[in-house]
Amino acid sequence: MPYYIVLSSLTDEGRKSIKQRPERILEVNKEIEGMGVKVHKQYALLGPYDFANIVEAPDNETVMRMSVEIGARGSVQMLTLPAVPVEEFIKKVK
């Protein structure tokens, strides 16, 4: 299955929610998995993005649906990047 890097920035509403209930992050991860997107790794960041997630999904459409669903809540803005493992990249370039 394809991998994706999801960079996210919390909105003011999202920061308030996380401050009040930091465990909400894990609840959202379970919701995302219910949409068919598996969260492999998640990192909190310093800088222009608040979180980086490495996820796996069956296709672009599944990731798009997840992005629209989560983004529509107004608590986060996301940038999703398709990712190819380096070994696979090398095979395809040859």
Amino acid found at 46: L
Distance, CA of 47 to CA of 4 (rounded, Å)? 20
Residue 64 is predicted with a pLDDT of 95
Domain boundaries along the sequence of the chain: 3-93
Angle in degrees, CA 47, 28, 20, rounded to 5: 70
At residue 1, does pLDDT exceed 90? no
Give per-residue pLDDT as tens, 32-88.
999 999 999 999 999 999 999 999 999 999 999 999 999 999 999 999 999 999 999
pTM score of the predicted model? 0.89
- Fold designation for 3-93: Alpha-Beta Plaits (3.30.70)
Nearest-angstrom CA–CA distance, 59 and 74: 24
